[in-house]
Every structure is written in C-alpha cells, then in structure tokens.
A and B are shown apart, each in its own frame.
With several copies, the nearest count.
Chain A
Amino acid sequence: MAITDYSIAAFDIQKIWADFPILSREVHPGVPLIYLDSTATSQKPLQVIAAMDEFYRRSNANIHRGIHALAEESTAAYESARERIAAFIGAATPREVIFTRNTTESINLVTQSWGRANLNPGDVVILTEMEHHSNLVPWQMLAQERSLRLEFIPVTGDGLLDLDEYARLLTLDPKMVAFTHMSNVLGTINPATEIIRMAHEIGALTLVDGAQSVPHLPVDVQALDADFVAFSAHKMLGPSGIGILYGRKALLEAMPPFLGGGDMIKRVELRSFQSNALPYKFEAGTPAIAEAIGFGSAVDYLADLGMEAVEQHERQIITYALERLEEIPGVKVFGPAAEHRGGVASFTLPEAHAHDISQILDADGIAVRAGHHCAMPLHTKFGIPATARASFYIYNTLEEVDRLVDGIYKVKQLFA
C-alpha cells in the first residue's frame, strides 16, 4: 500500500519499506499486500536475503573441518553469526548459543537431553495455560515417558498469568518452570524476570519460550537470569530453518548429547564416542550454514533499529489497533490492555467464522491468520474453536490498521 502515514516516529518506515521487497507486491491483480501475520513468520529484508545469496554465490563450503579458503570463509561467517546473536541476547559467551532448526527443536533439546537426565517419576514441571504447542507437547511426551506431573499457571479472564496461583504451585517443589515470554495469541508480555526469580528462589530451573519476545522486545538473557531461552530466526527477519537454544554454560556442559553424528564428537571408535565441547556437542551433522549467516544479518538489522524502538513502534500500533477494533460492533479482542501486550490482536466476530474473516480480508490483500494458532488449550479455555489474528512488526503502519478495520466492516456486511 502507499505509505502516507508518518505519524510513527520510532524509525523511518519509508526506509524500512524499501528494504522489504515483498511489501511492494500485489497479492491479487491491483491489490497490494498488507501483511499482518508476522507472529506466524516475519518478512525478510534485502540485507538478509542478500547475505545468503552472496554466501551461495561466493563462499559456500562445509564448515569446521576444511582448510581451503572457502571452508575458512564459511566457518568464519558461521561463527561470526553466532557471536552477533550471542551479543544480541546478552549471552555471556557464544558457546551458550546453540543453533537448532527452530524454537520447537530448541525446547525438545531441553526436554530430551536435560529432561531425561534430570527428571524422575513424580517430578513436577510448571507450564502455563497460554503455551504454544511447542512448549506443551515436548513436556507431555517427557511426562508420559517419565511419569512427571505437569501443572499449569492459569490465565485470567483478561489474559494475564495468575501469579498468586503460580506462587501456590511453587510449593509443589517443581524442578522446572517453562513459560512463554509473550503469548502468540493474547499478545500478553509475561513478567519473566519475576517468574524466574520466584522459580529460582525455590531452586527450580526456567525455560523461556522467547519465540515472540526476542523478535519484539529487548531481551537480555543475563538480566532475565534465564536458564534456557528458545527462539526462531524466521520470526525476527531471519530465514526459515534455523533457531537458537540459549543455555547457561554449566547446564549445557552437564547435559548429555541430543542428536549423534558428525561434528558433535571429539573422538569416535566403533562402539563408543566422546562428545565435543560446547556449542558443537549439540550441533550434529552439517548445520544450517547459510541460514545462520542470514540470521546474523537479521540481528544486525534489528540491533541497528534498536529493540527499544521496535517495542515502542509496536506499542503505538497495538494501542491504536485495540482502540479501532473495539469500536467495531461485535468484535471481541482477547487478551490484556495495550500496556501489557506486544503487537498481537486475536479477535472473533459473532457473524463470521475466523476462516471466513481471513478469506474475505485476503480479497483486499490483508493477510491475517485464522485458527487456534497452535494454542488449542487456550482456545478451549476461552470456549472458542478459532480466532482471527492480526499481528504487527517493524514495517506495519497505523494506516494498515485502518485498512484492517475497513475490511472487518466488509466482512460484517457480507455476513449480516
């Protein structure tokens, strides 16, 4: 869409639009894209696309073992990406930063390596009712295998975690508290520092699902005092196929390997092996090399904007979006007030199913997601099968919110 809205001062939106080729695309003939689905996956700036392109055109080689020039360039680029990502999240050392496929694999690495080694029948793990399936199912699998007890911090009617109930659950002496920093449905930004402090007081470890927070908020893993943090590149301007598990060095060092194979070993005999040092111990086989390099470029882009500015930009949009959505008769937006949330608004209409909302909006080029957003239990709790979700990122504008609102009025008219 044409950008006529410069009311948002956090950064230069016109410059950002020039960096994202997809935003100038028409989704249907004559219909430009309004992309409001960044919570599912973000768009990618030219800088990220070019970094990967350039890698394949100039430097591509397998890493770590090669002596020839390309192998050295590739290894240096891959490890430099790890260092920049480590700096971006404030890790004490790049060795604490493990490349995985995505948030989901990062969490499975924790459940299958740390969990199998440390949890015993009857042990309690605390999750929350607002978790994404990626932070539920791995624990359910482990709970079934190890007879663990899963307990859930309840979500209040206005989409916040019930911290009193959390305090009560902590008396069960849990070994682990695993929670999402920001809900991908409600947008709720949970008080991670407090949740972690309370867990540590009773000796529990913590895993932060940072899939939505690391892309949208300043996150410093040492300031949070988190034990594990999981996130995905594709939600923060980076490519698909790569994510991160951050873990405290001492914890990672004590954990058994997760997947076995090339690169994660120091020495192999026919019937035994010795694991490699961190971070390689957890990176079996040829990793996602170009993707790591693209991810490095993505955090450079975000760091240049400044994560405070990113957060401020989204706060302005979501504040405006909640105002505008709530003035539409019948629209029900789930989740807390703007000051407790990031740029996510999930809503329902009485006359039309979420799928129909999304399909009708698509005719106007507006991309929103419809469904349970991989959070079925939360939807069950709110008694709805599906919501439509508009989500915002650095490239979105207030004018796009207006177009969304116009579109919702069209849906209402069609289904009246």
Chain B
Amino acid sequence: MDDLYRELIIDRYKNPQFRGELDPHNFTFEDDNPYCGDHIRVDVRVDDNDVVIEAAYSGEGCSISQASADLLIEFIHGKTLDEVKALTKDDLLELLGIDLGPVRLKCALLSLKVLKAGAYGLGKDEVSDDLVE
C-alpha cells in the first residue's frame, strides 16, 4: 500500500475541506455504489458564465470515496461546466496520485460519476459507468 494512501487519503477523509450541502445550487445529484454502500451527493453553484463558484459534497462510505470527492470538489472550483463534463477517470486518478485496483477504482469514481451526471442534467436512470470511462 502506497504511503500516499495513508497521508493524502486518510487525511482528507478525516479532515474534509468541502463537505456540506449548498442551498441554493444550480444543480445537485446523488447516487451510490451498490457494491459497498458508498453514497455521494454533490451540490454545485455556477456563475453566469457557467463557471463553478462554489461546490460541496456529502455522503458516507470508505475513505477513498469520500477523499476523492473532497479532492474533486476542490479541483472544480473555477472550472467551467464544459470542463467539468470533460473530466475523465484519468483526471481523477491524477488528483488522487495513487494506483487503485478495480474495486477501489469504483469507490474513487463514484464522485466523478455523480458530478458529471449532475452537470449533464441526467435522470437517475441514465447514470452509467460509461460516464467515467
């Protein structure tokens, strides 16, 4: 196991910086990972140019899912909605900076999936792993 895991992930898990809910928001979305019960909700506020000015996440689950969400929300501040929609799995993994096996990958990608589904304005049934592949 990577030391980064201990430092970055566990630190962010224990001391989240973007945990919370936003009201009002321009969009919100939530979903869970049925394999492990991880749950993530994101709330995003954008300005007139569709630039993210404030965002937050809430939910529960393992350290990877929660810390990924925290890092992702930090990252999208100042990004346009189009930039958010264009985010990929690799972008998120770069943020995390650690190697993940296939199962933990699903934990890590949950927040990105939820965020992109919200950004695209998808319905609950339209969410699929294709969003993050």
Contact = CB atoms under 8 A, between A and B. Distances in A.
Interface in B24-41: 34-38
Interface residues of B, number: 22
B36 A370 contact: yes
Interface stretch (B56-64, B75-83, B112-120): B56-64
Contact of B36 (A71, A353, A363, A415): A353
Contacts of A370: 36
A303 interface: no
Most chain A CB within a 10 A radius of its CB, from B36, B63, B103, B107: B103
A386 B14 contact: no
A168 interface: no
B101 A355 contact: no
Given A65-B35, A67-B104, A355-B36, A363 B14 contact: no
Interface residues of A, number: 32
The DSSP consensus for interface residues of chain B is helix
B36 A386 contact: yes
A277 interface: yes
Contacts of A376: 34
B34 to A, nearest CB: 5
A372 B101 contact: no
A352 B63 contact: yes
Given A266-B34, A370-B36, A415-B10, A359 B102 contact: no
Interface string A56-79: 000000001111000110011001
A356 B1 contact: no
Interface in B1-56: 1, 5-6, 10, 13-14, 34-38
A285 interface: no
Contact of A372 (B35, B64, B102): B35
Nearest to A363: B1
A376 B51 CA distance: 41
A80 to B, nearest CB: 11
Interface string B61-88: 1111000000000000000000000000
Contacts of B126: none
Nearest to A360: B1
Given A66-B103, A352-B63, A371 B1 contact: no
A2 interface: no
> Which 3 pairs from chain A and chain B are nearest by CB?
A385-B37, A363-B1, A353-B62
Contacts of B101: 67, 71-72, 75-76
A381 B36 CA distance: 15
Contacts of A384: 37
A354 B102 contact: no
18 contacts: A64-B103, A65-B35, A67-B103, A75-B103, A76-B102, A352-B62, A353-B63, A355-B103, A356-B63, A356-B64, A359-B104, A362-B1, A370-B36, A376-B34, A385-B37, A414-B6, A414-B10, A415-B10
A15 interface: no
B129 interface: yes
Contacts, number: 70
Nearest to B3: A363
B93 to A, nearest CB: 15
Contacts of A65: 35, 103
B128 A354 contact: no
Contacts of A271: none
Contacts of B14: 415
Interface string B97-133: 0000111100100000000000000000000110000
B36 A277 contact: no
A196 B95 CA distance: 48
A267 B32 CA distance: 11
Contacts of A414: 6, 10
Nearest to B66: A353
Contact of A371 (B10, B35, B128): B35
Contacts of A385: 36-38, 61
B8 to A, nearest CB: 13
Contacts of A353: 36, 38, 61-63
B5 A359 contact: yes
Nearest to B101: A72
Given A363-B1, A371-B36, A415-B63, 15 more contacts: A65-B35, A66-B103, A67-B101, A71-B103, A277-B129, A352-B63, A353-B38, A353-B61, A356-B64, A372-B35, A376-B34, A385-B36, A414-B10, A415-B10, A415-B14
